[in-house]
Structure 1
Amino acid sequence: MELISNFLQQSITFFAIMDPIGISAIALSLLSTNITKTQISQVAFKSTLTIIIAFFVVLISGEFILKVFGIDENSLKVMGGIILILMAISMVNGSTKEKTNNEEKDYAELAIIPIGIPIAFGTGLFTTIIIFKHEASTFLDLFSISLAFCLNALVFYFVLKNSIYIKKYLGVTGQNIITKLMGLIVGAIAVQFIISGIVHLAKGYMGA
């Protein structure tokens, strides 16, 4: 029962942090208005594959990397917040320009960065995965974490794959409104990341 309880908690946590519906709205603002169903499916597949690979890299070596380079997770929060706030400013100002051509290379790059990383897989997931791994004591616990994430990755894939229909119903005006609103939300999250990271780093240095 405890394993099932932990699995449900992990699944809900991953879903809340990933926010696939919100990410699909952001992705729509980054992709061309002329993107086809086939191309959006390719973007969804590559983005999902990116976050799955990132998940297992972090699960296996994330904690080791932090220790080797002596990086505090709060430093990651600050840097991640800066990246997000720059993205948020672009979204609010409408400077995230839509592409008028359909170059598959551009879509492939966008699928990996920034849609896959850091929009879908950011510092929030990074630190959460490391925390969950700290709490894991058996192989079944690690399997539970992996299954919870992969199920959420599957949900992310289907939502992003079908985001073209969301764009169809929303129209350009609706899309722009959502982009600006998402920009405000992303900006607010970014500020929280930065402040939280700075406060904890300051406490750590003052207490040292």
Structure 2
Amino acid sequence: MELFQNFLQQTITLFAIMDPIGVSAIALSLLSPNITKSQISIIAKKTTTTILVAFFVVLITGDLVLKLFGIHEDSLKVMGGLILLLMAISMVTGSAMKSKKEEDESNKNDEELAIIPIGIPIAFGTGLFTTIIIFKNQVENSVEVFSLVISFCINALIFYLVLKNSIYIKKYLGLTGQNIITKLMGLIVGALAVQFIISGVVHLSQSYL
């Protein structure tokens, strides 16, 4: 039961941070307005492959990074929480959408944009990076690691399907609908950020006092 609860929490958390509908809106703003269904499908595959590779790299090397720099898990929780909090505020206020739209990518073709910047850092940014490392350090056995992998793969599949069909989603939801969903995801990310910060501060206080 506890394993399922953790799995559910991880899946919802990763979904909120990835915000596939919000990212798809940003992606469409960067891509050519005349992009075809087959082109957006190729871009969705490349972007999804990029975030999957990035996930496994972080999952495998995350502990090494912490040990290499002598970073305490709870310190990462606090810093990661702050990053997520800033990210949540920008999602709720809509400033993230505006700043990413303003990036000048006019000299690159659409398929080049699939990896950078759509894959990294828009879809797979610092918030997702720190959250994966935090989740990895919370697992206690291989079953829980497998659960985390499945959780991310489910979200990657959802991300792929949303990005692949982003033209239709934009048509039916419209800009207002996409903004509302992004703001709701921002509230969830913000609540998670507060939990990370409080948990990290409490554990650090106990270890130093």
TM-score w.r.t. the length of structure 1 is 0.68
Shift of the 135–185 alpha-carbon distance from structure 1 to 2, 3 Å rule, reads: same
2:44 is aligned to 44
- C-alpha distance in 2, partners of 1:13/1:93? 26
- Give the drift of 1:53: 1.5
Please give the secondary structure, in 2, of the residue aligned with 1:135: coil
Q: Distance in 1 between matches of 2:156 and 2:24?
A: 15
Deviations 1:26-58 (A, max 9, x none): 321342344332332233222211221222223
Q: Which moved more, 1:39-48 or 1:188-197?
A: 188-197
Give me the whole-angstrom Cα distance separating, in 1, the residues matched to 2:84 and 2:129.
Answer: 7
> What residue number does 2:118 align with?
111
Change (3 A) 1:109 1:88: farther
Q: Percent identity among equivalent residues?
A: 31
* CA distance in 1: counterparts of 2:28 and 2:117, whole angstroms: 8
Q: 5 Å matches for 1:1-208?
A: 6=3, 12-19=8-15, 22-32=19-29, 33-69=33-69, 70-71=71-72, 72=75, 73-86=77-90, 88-91=92-95, 94=98, 96-97=100-101, 103-104=109-110, 105-118=112-125, 121-131=128-138, 134-136=139-141, 138=142, 142-170=145-173, 174-175=174-175, 177-189=176-188, 191-192=190-191, 195-204=194-203, 206-207=205-206, 208=208
CA contact (8 A) 2:50 2:115 kept: no
5+ residue gaps, structure 2? none
CA contact (8 A) 1:17 1:125 kept: no
* Secondary structure at the counterpart of residue 122 of structure 2: helix
How much does 1:199 deviate? 3.6
CA distance in 2, matches of 1:120, 1:35: 29
Structure 2 residue identity aligned to 1:185: L
Q: What is the aligned residue count? A: 196
Cα gap change, 1:144/1:16 in structure 2, threshold over 3 Å: closer, same or farther?
closer
> Does the 8 Å contact 1:59/1:129 carry over to 2?
yes
TM-align CA RMSD: 3.8
SS in 1 for 2:101: coil
**TM-fit CA distance, 1:75:** 1.6
